[in-house]
Structure 1
Amino acid sequence: MSRRIVSYAVASLVATFLLTACSPKLDWRTVQSPQENYTALFPGKPEKLDRKIPYQGQEIPQTLEAVKIDDDIYSVSATQLNQSQVEFLPNLLAQLQDNLFKRANVNLDNAVSKDDFYQTVSRQKIVTKDYFLEFPSTGAIETSMRVRWITRITPERGAWVYQISVLHTAPARVEAKKFFSEEAYSNFFDEFRPE
């Protein structure tokens, strides 16, 4: 009788372990954002926030979709410039980049980066660059980020500025470029598709 109970307990533990091992931590889902002209693959259901950012005396619409999974925040921000605001594009992009680079104590020239590419919805491949940032430590928590900026001109001669990023916070520092090359992060960047 006790042999049967032990066998049952072992079988239950094995079944529980297998079910736990098979259940994915990340629940990948395709998110379509027709108003922002992109499709993205998120590892969970993102929250969406719309706001207007003041720039050069004007209000520029920006949308942020983000999801937090354990120590990571996966996010896509989309900033829309209309035809009369498209002249702001170079300076606005430089400001977005500079804000993050300053927080990581780097600049565009010495930030760790790698050349990559993205695909549009129509499957056109376009060269881009990913940046791997390690922010100064604040106590026991270490913060790093992989970020990519994509700009797209619209048929109406406006523009979109997309910032695709994953922010990782954890007690131990891991080399950002190596860490963010894992499949869970690569999928997020590889499957972002603007129109």
Structure 2
Amino acid sequence: MAIKKLRMSALILLSALLLSACNPQFNWREIHSNDAPFSVLMPGKADSFSQDIQLAGVTVKMTMTATDVGGLNFAVGSLKLADVSKTTEVLAAMQNGMIKNIQGRIIKPVSATNAVLEVQGKAGGSDVVMAARFLNRGNWVYQVIVLGPQNKMTPEIIETFMSSFVAN
């Protein structure tokens, strides 16, 4: 039974990759961060920038690696905590901050089988949907997001981007 589910999951992922790969607008390429231990597929050339921010009373240097393709924003935020005991609070503050930034409300919470949170909100005066993951590996904390209009946000695009993220 487990092997059947694994095969089905692999087939779905392969189909999603093939479908999204057929779209000439999305030129998926593997990005390796110079600042944090992760890799991800992005649909265009990504730029990175860093700034100091405060999350849960902790000042951290956060690096965003992002691209904007087809009206969708794809981004990975990463930061390294000096004190791993702050991970839970920092992850919660990061998630709450992203939701607040778009005056959002959760429409699909994270479950045990689906690590992607979906949020409706507003950006630049327009309605948007955000698919997001907030996770950590050791003392590294990450946010992986896709943000844009609902009519451009397909399950295949979300799946390709989210499933490609690997914290090394």
Q: Name the TM-score class by shorter chain.
A: 0.7 to 0.9
Q: CA deviation at 1:101?
A: 3.5
- Partner of residue 143, structure 1: 128
What CA RMSD, in Å, does the superposition of the two structures yield over aligned residues? 2.7
Q: Which amino acid in the other structure matches residue 164 of structure 1?
A: V
- How do 1:29-178 residues align onto structure 2 when only pairs under 5 Å count? 29-55=29-55, 59-82=59-82, 85-102=83-100, 103-106=103-106, 111-113=107-109, 115=111, 129-136=115-122, 141-153=126-138, 159-169=139-149, 174=151
Q: CA deviation at 1:105?
A: 3.5
Q: CA deviation at 1:89?
A: 1.4
Are residues 163 and 137 of structure 1, via their aligned partners in 2, closer, same or farther at CA, if it must alter by over 3 Å? Answer: closer
How far apart in 1 are the matches of 2:23 and 2:108? 34
Bigger radius of gyration: 1
Q: Which amino acid in the other structure matches residue 98 of structure 1?
A: N
Q: CA deviation at 1:56?
A: 6.4
Point out where structure 1 has 5 or more consecutive residues left out of the alignment. 1-21, 117-126, 154-158
Q: CA deviation at 1:112?
A: 1.1
How far apart in 2 are the matches of 1:101 and 1:56? 15
Task: Check the 8 A contact 1:143/1:168 in 2, yes or no.
Answer: yes
Task: Check the 8 A contact 2:35/2:63 in 1, yes or no.
Answer: no
Normalising by structure 2, we get a TM-score of 0.74
Q: CA deviation at 1:98?
A: 1.8
Aligned residue pairs total 145
Are residues 52 and 105 of structure 1, via their aligned partners in 2, closer, same or farther at CA, if it must alter by over 3 Å? Answer: same
Please give the per-residue CA displacement for 1:70-101, whole angstroms capped at 9, x wherever unaligned. 2100000001102xx22221111111122234
Normalising by structure 1, we get a TM-score of 0.64
- Partner of residue 194, structure 1: 167
How far apart in 2 are the matches of 1:192 and 1:162? 10
Point out where structure 2 has 5 or more consecutive residues left out of the alignment. 1-21
How far apart in 1 are the matches of 2:56 and 2:96? 17
Q: Which amino acid in the other structure matches residue 161 of structure 1?
A: V
